[in-house]
Amino acid sequence: MYKDSLINANRYSKAIIAEREEFVCIHGHNGIRHPACFNKANDIKERKGMLDIEAGALNADFDICLSWCIKKSGEEEYTYDNLIKADLVKGRYDSRLIASLVEEMWNYDRLITHYGSNFRFDIPFVRSRYLWLKAREMYNGLPFPCYGEMWLTDTFAMSKRLTKITSRRQDNLAKVMLGKDIKTRIDKDFWMAIKYGDTATREKAIEYIVDHNVKDAEQLDGIYLAMLPFIRETRTSI
C-alpha cells in the first residue's frame, strides 16, 4: 500500500504489525511497546527526502506549481517533475504535477524543507494546490498525507535554534556551513516564460527552473546534515 511505513505507527500494514507483535526485545517487550528496540534489531531507519518546489507565485489560489524535486538524504538519488506544454494546453493546471509529487512523498517517512513547514511555504502551497484541484474534481492522485502520517523537519527552524548569523536564507546557510552557495538565481523572465513563452523559450525556461530546483534540494541536504548532529529530531507532523 502507498501509506506503508516500517517506522511510523500510523502507517503500519497488517504484516508489519504482526511482525512487531511477534518480536521480543531484551526488555521482554514486543516491537509495538518497544519500537526503538525493534528498529535497532532490524536496522530500520527513517526514509528521509529533501523537498523543494518552484511555483509561479507565493499564493496557491493565485498560481500553480512549476516543478518539484525530492532528493534522498545522503545519497545522489533525485526524483523530479515539471510542468509541460500539454498541462497548459489541456487546461489541467498543475494537477498531473501535484499528483506525481504526492505519490513520491509517500515513499518517505520524513520530508525536509527550508522555510517549507506549516505557516511557511512548500508544504502549505502543495497542500493548498491539492485541495484546490480536488474541490474542482481535477485531482485523481493519491491523498495528501494527513496528521501524523508523515514527519517534517524545516532547516529554517533548525537554524533559528542553532545559529547566530546575519541571514537564515538558504544561500547564506550554505555559505556558512558548506563553504559555498550552488544555488542559481531566480530569473523572473524564466518564471514567466514557462507559462507564457513560445515553445523554444518555454523549453529553455523549464531546463533552467528544473536545474535550479535540483540544486536547491542538493544544497538543502548538505545544510540539513551539517546541523543534524546538534539536535534531537522531533516527530513533528507534516
* Residue 211 to residue 206: CA distance in whole angstroms: 8
What pLDDT, on the 0 to 100 scale, is given for residue 187? 86
Please indicate, yes or no, whether residues 123 and 20 belong to a single structural domain of this protein: no
Per-residue pLDDT, averaged over 220-234, amounts to: 97
Please indicate, yes or no, whether residues 27 and 59 belong to a single structural domain of this protein: no
| Any domain includes 237 | no
* Residue 6 to residue 19: CA distance in whole angstroms: 10
pTM to 2 decimals? 0.95
Please indicate, yes or no, whether residues 105 and 19 belong to a single structural domain of this protein: no
Q: Which amino acid is at 33?
A: R
Span 117-140, pLDDT tens digits: 999 999 999 999 999 999 999 999
* Residue 2 clears pLDDT 90, i.e. is over it: no
Q: Are 158 and 177 in contact (CB under 8 A)?
A: no
* CATH code of the domain covering residue 139: 3.30.420.10
* Residue 163 to residue 42: CA distance in whole angstroms: 35
Q: Are 236 and 62 in contact (CB under 8 A)?
A: no
Residue length of the chain? 238
Please indicate, yes or no, whether residues 36 and 54 belong to a single structural domain of this protein: no
Domain that holds residue 18: 9-41
Please indicate, yes or no, whether residues 14 and 89 belong to a single structural domain of this protein: no
Please indicate, yes or no, whether residues 14 and 122 belong to a single structural domain of this protein: no
* Residue 1 clears pLDDT 80, i.e. is over it: no
* Residue 75 clears pLDDT 90, i.e. is over it: yes
Query: What 3-state DSSP class applies to 180?
Result: coil
Counted domains in the chain: 2
Please indicate, yes or no, whether residues 26 and 112 belong to a single structural domain of this protein: no
Mean pLDDT for all residues in the chain:
96
All three cell numbers of 2:
502507498
Closest CA to 120 of 159, 73, 77: 159
Please indicate, yes or no, whether residues 138 and 203 belong to a single structural domain of this protein: yes
Please indicate, yes or no, whether residues 181 and 138 belong to a single structural domain of this protein: yes
What pLDDT, on the 0 to 100 scale, is given for residue 167? 97
